[in-house]
Structure 1
Amino acid sequence: MIEKVAFAVISLVVLLLLPPLLDGISRKIKAILQARQGPSLLQTYYDISSLLSMEPMLPTDRLGFIVAPYVAFAAALSAGLVLPFGNFIPVAFTGDIFVFLYVLAIFSISMMIAGFLVNNTYANAGANREMMIILSVEPILGVALGIFALKTHSLSISGILMNLTLTPSVILAFIFLAYFIYVECAFIPFDVAEAETEILEGPFVEYSGRLLGIFKWAMLIKRVVLIWLFVSFLVLPIMKNIVDITSLHGAVVTLIAQLVMLFLFYAMSAVIEATTARMKITPILKQNTIIFAAGLIALAIASVGL
């Protein structure tokens, strides 16, 4: 019982408190690569706490505009609660993989609503781009998870993790999943929906104060959740062959391995962001379509047992 409580607390710390630190580390890495001093590692904490302490200025009284940040925050947190932390999954049940997909969609819909409910060209453009990105990249996630489910005969995240073995189609699924996560996290060069220097953060342009702080925090949580999904699928199937992950020692070692992989993924993303330029929306859509087509081929390969 005590172990479950401890891992529950750790999961909340990872989901709520770690994202701003990872963003601070990412900003520092990019600054070093660009020969700048950069902000403090804790700067994102300061930024979010400052925004949360301010009253927002509302450009519209529409309820959807006000509620959207809270919905996005709840969706990001809910998605994280169905993922494993060591050997502990806060909310686990058959078919939870579909819940993960649904709450991710809710997050994206809340961003689109935020952009469409105001009379602002930049916000509308950002919402349109978000919609196009989601429609083109979400099928890639569906293909990757479909391959995992097909190879493990399970629709639960825990079932997939416990039964996943390495095959050619599974390797391809990991590649597709990594690509999806990078795009969905809106890292450069795929940050076209916000594009600070082009459309002034798109859907967020009319937000301020507490509402902007909640949206920013939710976006950081979503990034950690998506990367955590990838590292969990990567780490747990390996660790189960090395340690007894059902034991406390094995669970702790597995959690540490997940955290290390999380930091490495974030660090690699920072390096890519510092050395690449933003793509245009049309090439991104074409690229997503090509990768989805390749994913369908991989799914066909998985269906014949490879």
Structure 2
Amino acid sequence: MNAVSVVSAFLVLLVLPPLLDGIGRRVKARIQYRRGPPLLQTFYDLEKLFRLPSVVPTENPMFRLAPYLAFAAALAGGLMLPFGSEPVLEFGKGLIVFFYVVAMVSVVTVLAAFSVQNAFSHIGGHREVMMVLSIEPLLAVVLGVLAFKAGTLNIAELASGVSPSPSVLLAYILLAYAAYAEGGFVPFDIAEAETEVIGGPFTEYSGRLLGVFRYALLIKRVVLLWLLATLIAVPAARAAGISGGMALVLVQVAVLSILYIAAVAVEAANARLRIDQAVSLNKKVFAVAVGVLFIALVGW
């Protein structure tokens, strides 16, 4: 661990998520021929929520704890990824730990939904469960393919150890799909679905607690895309003679920004799916991922 990794990690994880969300809202507005909000609008929204008190409709302690647990899980997952040449938190089999830590954000969201007596909240919780059960196996298989081809479960080594092959290229495409769906971009924002189930799992949340939850979800979205950005940026940077330091971080940020804007452009062109449609689509993509795993196992 070095100072560059620590500083860049906290800047990326705490500053970039609201900033990229603001840029994304502006890009989406322009695609839809609207003016859109200011680039810092998400910061303004979060600041306003943090200043407001939260209404607590239940004595269940999970209602209060859930936003902070989700925030901690999203932040911890991000710190396991390389910022430059190394992560802030490093484990021997970091890829497995990363998978479970990031999944905890969804698990905590479900627990929060069922901590209150509200039909809309419960509907959102059920939908989140269905999305998790249909997308997490896909993410696990894709990460398994990449780990198998690189011969390591260390995330920092994974980024530089994967050699180009048909299975790796397909795994990158599937990882982009999994990050998009897991990040809750339209049409996969089915659990929340404000116009349909009035906020889903977050129906009863307000003020500071809602702000923390929103912040956690924005961080999770960036963390998932940062993993993909790292897998793309590290080999490209090293081919250009950049091996580490702040220069590599800037390349990662550039790739992340491109991926985020591309995701927003796709989002602007799609309408929300029904939960059964989303689950069916995820099953089909999972079947493709199993095929890609077979291709990797035979050496392609």
Task: Give the whole-Å Cα distance in 2 for the aligned partners of 1:32 and 1:43.
Answer: 15
Between the aligned partners of 2:25 and 2:119, the Cα distance in structure 1 is 29
Question: In structure 1, how many angstroms separate the alpha carbons of the residues matched to 2:218 and 2:128?
Answer: 16
Residue 60 of structure 2 corresponds to which residue in structure 1?
62
Provide the rounded CA distance (Å) in 1 between the counterparts of 2:159 and 2:256.
Answer: 17
Structure 2 residue aligned with 1:37: 35
8 Å contact from structure 1 (residues 86, 251) kept in 2: yes
Q: Matched residue of 1:94: which SS?
A: coil
Distance 1:7 1:182 in 2: 25
- In angstroms, what is the RMSD of aligned CA positions? 1.2
In the alignment, is the contact (CA less than 8 A) between 2:86 and 2:156 conserved in 1? Answer: no
2:209 corresponds to 1:208: no
Q: Does 1:199 align with 2:232?
A: no
Q: Distance in 1 between matches of 2:103 and 2:28?
A: 30
Percent identical:
44
Cα displacement (A) at 1:131? 0.4
Q: Report the number of matched residues.
A: 300
Question: 2:6 matched to 1:8?
Answer: yes
- TM-score, normalised on structure 2? 0.97
Show the 5 A alignment for 1:128-277.
128-245=126-243, 250-277=244-271
1:152 and 1:6 map into 2 onto residues whose CA distance is 26
* Alpha-carbon shift at residue 240 of structure 1 (Å): 2.2
State the partner residue of 2:89: 91
Q: Structure 1-normalised TM-score?
A: 0.95
Q: Which moved more, 1:86-95 or 1:130-139?
A: 86-95
Q: Distance in 1 between matches of 2:48 and 2:249?
A: 31
Separation in 2, partners of 1:152, 1:272: 30
Preserved contact between residue 192 and residue 278 of structure 1 (Cα < 8 Å): yes
Give how far 1:262 is off: 1.0
Tell me which amino acid in the other structure corresponds to 2:13: L
Which 5+ residue runs of structure 2 have no aligned equivalent?
none
Once the two structures are TM-superposed, the CA of residue 23 in structure 1 deviates from its matched residue by: 0.6
Matched-pair contact (CA < 8 Å) for 2:85–2:156: no
Cα pair 1:165 1:237 within 8 Å, conserved: no
Structure 1 counterpart SS, 2:187? coil
Distance 2:78 2:151 in 1: 23
Candidates 35, 46, 49, aligned match of 1:48: 46
The answer for the alignment partner of 2:18 in structure 1 is 20
Deviates more, 1:214-223 or 1:36-45: 36-45
Determine the C-alpha separation between the residues in 2 that align with 1:57 and 1:143.
Answer: 41
Q: Which amino acid aligns with 2:178?
A: F
- What is aligned with 1:290? 284
Q: Using the TM superposition, give the Cα deviation of residue 6 of structure 1 relative to its aligned residue in structure 2, in angstroms.
A: 3.2
Q: Which letter maps to 1:67?
A: L
Preserved CA contact (<8 Å) 2:242 2:248:
no
**What is the Cα deviation at residue 244 of structure 1?**
4.4
